[in-house]
Structure 1
């Protein structure tokens, strides 16, 4: 159970909230689901350097609200909010809907598994040593105050002729309970010898701990408290 199941997909609807929160009829559901994926792909492609951890989407009858969890919100907001207005206009032109973009700032990127995985993939793409990248990442993540971290690399590591798998971990990664907040991230490093897959697991403790919420809510650069939502999808 702990080895073959996606940690986030396993917890969604139980202890994790849905990434897309809306209701639709059977006729519209498929089209809206594909549109959500296109929105995520468009934003991730255009803002690769913004360190986006995840994208949440909420829909009403006439509006789409996109929440961007980013460690570098200044890149998305731009000077005087010009860039976020440009992003909003491009989304409205491409998808033909009224859009609203909200930024959720991530204070500590080393507590987010997806950002850690992307950081390792960037080091490998720049021909860095995979052993040095793993050791450095494990130290940085543990210093961020997490309970445990595990990193797995798969591919032609170090330019070897045959691909192999390298694992390293610190602390505890309990994958057989749903009451632990285990964050999971996956990234791909494109090297001259081939593609290397990077998987990262980060144990952030129990869901009951209030310390787990390490993101400050901000809209167009102004921080405020994120509202609670009772309806889940």
Structure 2
């Protein structure tokens, strides 16, 4: 069953938290705010889609303010020269939200341990026709060198332009999916195969060790 459950949602309220944190007592407000959150995330992801820099986008709502926290591997790219990037991003977000917006930028210290960044980096390499084995093994080795206790990477599709689609995986260290104390980061990404060879899916699990505060 561990393979069928998202490892992050499986650990919610154990030591993981929701990426959107707010409460609505009104059904109409709930639907409206949910759509707003989705559009805010799509806007930020699209703005920095050229290279994988965004790891997590958190949204918190109060009575008169929306706080958007962006966890990124390259804070300078998001902030821009003299803060121009954040100012422009704030204006774009406020066009689709119902309240004023405050943006916080937090830098990811070790991007090799962020499953989203690892998955998107592999996907971008596959789109540039890199050998999938080399891309996957390099990503796994970089994660282990950065301090991961274990990493599991799966790629599926017409790998290297093959006629038949298949699934390949690489596992380094241990990845205990059933242990709730285990701090596991998970994400998926898609790569468009070259010459119309379809979509290649990438899944990444990164095990960072057991949490002692659980």
Give the TM-score normalised by the residue count of structure 1: 0.87
Once residues 42 and 82 of structure 1 are traced to their aligned partners in structure 2, the CA distance between those partners, rounded to angstroms, is 17
Partner of 2:2: 2
Contact (CA 8 Å) 1:50, 1:75: kept in 2 or not? no
Contact (CA 8 Å) 2:115, 2:185: kept in 1 or not? yes
Contact (CA 8 Å) 2:56, 2:70: kept in 1 or not? yes
Once residues 148 and 71 of structure 2 are traced to their aligned partners in structure 1, the CA distance between those partners, rounded to angstroms, is 19
Partner of 2:33: 32
Once residues 15 and 109 of structure 2 are traced to their aligned partners in structure 1, the CA distance between those partners, rounded to angstroms, is 22
Contact (CA 8 Å) 2:52, 2:121: kept in 1 or not? no
Offset at residue 168 of structure 1 (A): 0.8
Across the two proteins, how many residue pairs are aligned to each other? 209
SS in 2 for 1:81: helix
Contact (CA 8 Å) 1:150, 1:168: kept in 2 or not? yes
* Structure 1 pair 194–115 and aligned structure 2 pair: CA distance change class (3 A): same
Partner of 2:143: 141
1:173 aligns with 2:202: no
Offset at residue 95 of structure 1 (A): 2.3
Which of 127, 137, 145 in structure 2 is aligned with 1:125? 127
Gaps of 5+ in 1: 210-233
Which of 83, 86, 107 in structure 2 is aligned with 1:81? 83
Once residues 120 and 17 of structure 2 are traced to their aligned partners in structure 1, the CA distance between those partners, rounded to angstroms, is 23
Which of 179, 185, 198 in structure 2 is aligned with 1:194? 198
Offset at residue 206 of structure 1 (A): 1.4
Offset at residue 50 of structure 1 (A): 5.7
- RMSD of equivalent CA atoms: 1.2
Contact (CA 8 Å) 2:58, 2:68: kept in 1 or not? yes
Mapping of 1:46-85 within 5 angstroms?
Answer: 46-48=47-49, 49=51, 51-85=53-87
SS in 2 for 1:95: coil
* Structure 1 pair 50–75 and aligned structure 2 pair: CA distance change class (3 A): farther
Partner of 2:43: 42
Partner of 1:218: none
SS in 1 for 2:96: helix
Once residues 104 and 196 of structure 1 are traced to their aligned partners in structure 2, the CA distance between those partners, rounded to angstroms, is 30
SS in 1 for 2:106: strand
Partner of 2:12: 12
Gaps of 5+ in 2: none
Contact (CA 8 Å) 1:64, 1:99: kept in 2 or not? yes
Offset at residue 13 of structure 1 (A): 2.3
Moved over 3 A (4+): none
Contact (CA 8 Å) 2:182, 2:207: kept in 1 or not? yes
